[in-house]
Structure 1
């Protein structure tokens, strides 16, 4: 095996180990909260020693930052797809399903934990701010992109306020999930169909 192949294999193993830790940490944070989920609990859930985790992440704060960055990357990938989507229907279908075994979806409880932790930890606050700015930038691009490319071709002047409203809606729905997971889907559908189409048209 040549040097390049060995390096590629090592990188793949490192990435797999990091992903294993992040999935375990996300599960623990959702179940126990950031403060109750220590490195020992994360290690137990990941099926590895705490010492091994420290080879990949300096501390729990670094794990939280990595989870935030991973979620942003997932969102960017989803938004950048050159395909037409029915945003209203996707928001309705996604309500109450965030989290669980799907690490690509930001769990509502985890979002609240992140928001609370950001008020106490400057590093987490910076990561969350980067997430917010990254999401809004991706929304800007999607709203301005041509319809042939899966966008909405909105004039530049309309994009910033529309992107902000969409972001507020996304976050508001996640918070509402924690309080009212069994919200009447017909009512939710009527509300979103009233609002979303107007935000996506000039």
Structure 2
């Protein structure tokens, strides 16, 4: 059994959470490049020096934001991989955390310029992909490894494409899209291995 965290550990975690909350707000407003450490400090009501006690640099803050988003997505994936919720999410009937979606798009853009952020994104994708593969294996043990990986890749394209498409006005009704996504997912997960 894990020991209870000390008051000092709890305070450290609380400060990190405050910094992450401030950083998320600043990054959403200004982007990663334009958001300065001074802006983050002001938003968190801390000094820049205090922020450096908790995070070595802006990339470390980005890394923690990405880790938290991916952890949340993995938890959601474990609950909703092949349920009616997934087509509803894809069809925009149910909207996931829009800040998370926007921040991950920001991460993807930053990854084209910053090798460290590119490595973070690759690690996040690796974690999500392997978690999804494990989840689909549990739900469809009859599928070959190759089929499972292909199904997860198609799911990733649909989910990530949907995140990008949310930046534009939806061109079809959510209800109609949900039906189509449900049909696509049923076909994707048919028992017959092609």
Match of 1:200 among 185, 189, 194: 189
- What secondary structure is seen at the aligned counterpart in 2 of 1:30? helix
Partner residue, 1:156: 144
Distance 1:161 1:83 in 2: 15
Distance 2:144 2:118 in 1: 29
Change (3 A) 1:84 1:193: closer
Partner residue, 1:44: 42
Change (3 A) 1:48 1:159: same
User: Per-residue CA shift, 1:27-54, capped at 9, x if unaligned?
Assistant: 2111211112111211222222222111
C-alpha contact (below 8 Å) 2:89/2:95 kept by paired residues: no
C-alpha contact (below 8 Å) 1:95/1:174 kept by paired residues: no
C-alpha contact (below 8 Å) 2:91/2:174 kept by paired residues: yes
TM score, norm. by length of structure 1: 0.81
Q: What are structure 1's unaligned runs of at least 5 residues?
A: 101-105, 146-150
Partner residue, 1:135: 128
User: Per-residue CA shift, 1:80-110, capped at 9, x if unaligned?
Assistant: 349973221243356655325xxxxx22x32
Query: 157-166 or 189-198, which moves further after superposition?
Result: 189-198
Distance 2:110 2:187 in 1: 34
- Aligned-residue CA RMSD (Å): 2.4
Partner residue, 1:103: none
Partner residue, 2:71: 73
Partner residue, 1:92: 91
C-alpha contact (below 8 Å) 1:154/1:200 kept by paired residues: no
Q: What are structure 2's unaligned runs of at least 5 residues?
A: none
Partner residue, 2:10: 12
Query: 163-172 or 87-96, which moves further after superposition?
Result: 87-96
C-alpha contact (below 8 Å) 1:18/1:56 kept by paired residues: yes
Tell me how far 1:133 sits from its aligned partner. 0.8
